[in-house]
């Protein structure tokens, strides 16, 4: 087998690297000649028994993008201290051995967080050509507390780059691992503790049986599962209600949402949202994403939320709406809905005001008839 000499770009410890989203500039300090693996990376589950890092050694290979992020070790734990990070896509990460993640496409991180609010962790993986799997980056809201928990970031079917251009990411030649905290969201200050990072097979994901309808959220608990994709949106728990404060949202298709317990929409496919608005009458669009990462965006369902001091039920019927047109054409699997995504005034006039959501529930046609029979 012949080996070709090639030039590999080393990741610079700069903000550009995180946004990398921009091409790196080659100079004598940022390139070295190495031997390129000719065909394929090491099977990820076999490399170090599937362990990317368990922090029982030094952390020299880890880098940060700016002065607001500090890395250190406490025993066998990576301590990440963030000071107002997130909105500028601050990140930290490491180069990996050349890995083939086609069979083992799930990142498993055992971690916990401390701070005023729970952080959202977003994972990016880059291939040997610096193509970044950023089109549908897996994310998880990390709980606050002293107990470590396992979080899974599933890249299955998500090996695509959408920024700065559309490209396919080579899942058999993965070379870089990046972690963003609150990437593109409101700045976060706090500490993230990481016990280990592993690469596992999708078979190791917690088994989920899709429910036939039920409550998506009634906001009795904290908003740990919710995320926002832009600092123009701010979520806050007000009693048993979620308050969404909007500042000029709409033209940029700003979103917020959460992962949900997997649901089967073939038996119950109407979603009831109990809501009200202040400061205007915004359009509230709601999409659902299936277990394959496909979203109900071909026929967007949008409701105009009334400005009122009283809550009202709004009904989104997904019958016949299981198709995606962006970023490509796909059929959405109604038996495995696992994420809900909201837009406020998507593509429309900027909205500044508040939306309050009391309940989100997936209901059957029969229950819909019962709830609306007197209207």
Q: In the structure, what pLDDT confidence band is assigned to residue 117 with cuts at 50, 70 and 90? A: confident
Q: Which of 52-56, 222-226, 266-270 has the lowest mean pLDDT?
A: 222-226
**Residue (of 231, 222, 226) closest to 249 by Cα position:** 231
Host H or E run for residue 366:
helix 365-372
183 shares its domain with 220: no
307 shares its domain with 338: yes
192 shares its domain with 249: no
Q: Which of 169, 204, 239 is the last residue of a domain?
A: 204
Task: For residue 18, give the 3-state DSSP assignment.
Answer: helix
- C-alpha gyration radius of the chain: 22
275 shares its domain with 340: yes
Residues 127-148 have a mean pLDDT of 93
Q: In the structure, what pLDDT confidence band is assigned to residue 112 with cuts at 50, 70 and 90? A: very high
Q: In the structure, what pLDDT confidence band is assigned to residue 374 with cuts at 50, 70 and 90? A: low
- Residue 116 is assigned to a structural domain of this protein: yes
Is residue 90 within 8 A of residue 65, CB to CB? The reply is yes
Res 304: pLDDT: 98
- Residue 356 is assigned to a structural domain of this protein: yes
285 shares its domain with 236: yes
163 shares its domain with 218: no
Res 19: pLDDT: 53
| Backbone dihedral angles phi then psi of residue 17, each to the nearest 5 degrees | -65, -40
Q: Which of 50-54, 207-211, 226-230 has the lowest mean pLDDT?
A: 207-211
Task: Please report, for the domain that includes residue 154, its CATH number.
Answer: 2.60.120.430
Q: What percent of the chain has pLDDT over 70?
A: 89
Q: Which of 173, 204, 235 is the last residue of a domain?
A: 204
348 shares its domain with 258: yes
- Residue 209 is assigned to a structural domain of this protein: no
- Residue 302 is assigned to a structural domain of this protein: yes
20 shares its domain with 164: yes
Tokens 């396992």 belong to residue? 150
**Residue (of 234, 243, 227) closest to 341 by Cα position:** 227
193 shares its domain with 243: no
Q: What percent of the chain has pLDDT over 90?
A: 74
The domain in which residue 258 lies consists of 214-372
Mean pLDDT over the full length of the chain? 88
pTM above 0.75?
no
Residues 256-273 have a mean pLDDT of 92
160 shares its domain with 272: no
Res 211: pLDDT: 74
Name, in order, each residue with C-beta under 8 angstroms of 243's C-beta and a sequence gap of 6 or more. 235, 236, 237, 354, 355, 356
245 shares its domain with 145: no
Q: How many domains does the chain have?
A: 2
Q: In the structure, what pLDDT confidence band is assigned to residue 57 with cuts at 50, 70 and 90? A: very high
- Residue 131 is assigned to a structural domain of this protein: yes
pLDDT tens for each residue of 3-53: 333 333 333 333 345 754 333 333 334 333 334 445 799 999 999 999 999
Q: Which of 179, 204, 229 is the last residue of a domain?
A: 204
240 shares its domain with 183: no
């Amino acid at each position: 087998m012949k080996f070709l000499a090639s030039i590999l770009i080393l990741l610079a410890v700069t903000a550009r690297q995180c946004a990398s989203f921009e091409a790196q500039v080659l100079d004598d300090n940022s390139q070295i000649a190495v031997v390129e693996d000719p065909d394929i990376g090491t099977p990820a589950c076999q490399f170090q028994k599937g362990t990317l890092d368990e922090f029982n050694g030094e952390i020299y290979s880890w880098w940060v993008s700016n002065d607001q992020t500090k890395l250190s070790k406490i025993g066998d734990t990576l301590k990440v201290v963030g000071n107002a990070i997130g909105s500028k896509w601050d990140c930290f990460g490491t180069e990996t051995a050349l890995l083939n993640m086609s069979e083992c496409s799930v990142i498993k991180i055992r971690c916990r967080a401390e701070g005023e609010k729970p952080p959202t962790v977003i994972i990016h993986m880059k291939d040997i050509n610096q193509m970044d799997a950023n089109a549908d980056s897996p994310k998880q809201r990390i709980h606050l507390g002293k107990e470590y928990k396992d979080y899974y970031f599933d890249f299955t079917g998500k090996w695509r780059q959408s920024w700065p251009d559309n490209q396919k990411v080579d899942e058999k030649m993965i070379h870089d691992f990046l972690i963003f905290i609150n990437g593109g969201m409101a700045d976060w200050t706090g500490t993230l503790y990481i016990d280990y990072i592993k690469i596992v097979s999708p078979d190791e994901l917690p088994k989920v049986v899709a429910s036939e309808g039920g409550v998506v959220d009634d906001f009795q608990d904290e908003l740990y599962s919710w995320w926002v994709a832009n600092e123009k949106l701010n979520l806050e728990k007000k009693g048993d209600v979620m308050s969404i404060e909007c500042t000029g949202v709409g033209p940029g298709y700003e979103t917020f949402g959460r992962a949900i317990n997997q649901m089967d929409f073939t038996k119950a496919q109407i979603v009831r949202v109990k809501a009200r608005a202040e400061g205007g009458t915004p359009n509230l669009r709601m999409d659902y994403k299936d277990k394959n990462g496909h979203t109900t965006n071909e026929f967007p369902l949008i409701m105009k939320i009334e400005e009122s001091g009283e809550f009202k039920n709004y009904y989104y019927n997904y019958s016949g709406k299981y198709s995606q047109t962006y970023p490509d054409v796909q059929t959405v699997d109604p038996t495995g809905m696992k994420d809900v995504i909201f837009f406020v005034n998507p593509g429309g006039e900027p909205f500044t005001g508040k939306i309050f959501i009391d309940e989100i529930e997936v209901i059957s046609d029969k229950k819909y008839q019962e709830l609306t029979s007197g209207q």
